[in-house]
Amino acid sequence: MTGRFPAPRSLLVREVARRLSSHFCDGAVVVTVGPDGGVRGLVAALGRVPGARFLPYGAADAASWPAERDMLLVLDGSDRLGPQALAWLRTLLAAAPGLRVLAAGRHPLAVGQGRVHRL
């Protein structure tokens, strides 16, 4: 989901996550991408999700917990993701058949197949 105005975009994706959470066995998780946009921050944010058990950044299987889930991952502020975080996300999506990503930012995420909805 793309658009120039971050506040309405954030409200909309959070509402979509709330409404769609029952469609996924493990619900929906909303992660606000930090200003650094790196893998470390993304993994740390996912690690704060209730029930998540992540190894410290740099561990070989830091993506193992989300890879085993049937869930919607909402990335609010996805335009701040750096190249390494995008590469990590591509790896995660390849390993996680039940994971769906709803990214909200100024620009399309450009990771895997997807649809772009412009606001």
Q: Which pLDDT tens digit goes with each residue over 56-113?
A: 444 445 566 677 788 898 999 999 999 988 888 888 888 888 889 999 998 888 777 7
CB 108 within 8 A of CB 114: yes
> What is the structure's pLDDT at 14?
92
Query: What pTM value is reported for the model?
Result: 0.81
Does residue 39 carry a pLDDT above 50?
A: yes
pLDDT tens sequence across 15-26: 999 999 999 998
> What is the structure's pLDDT at 60?
47
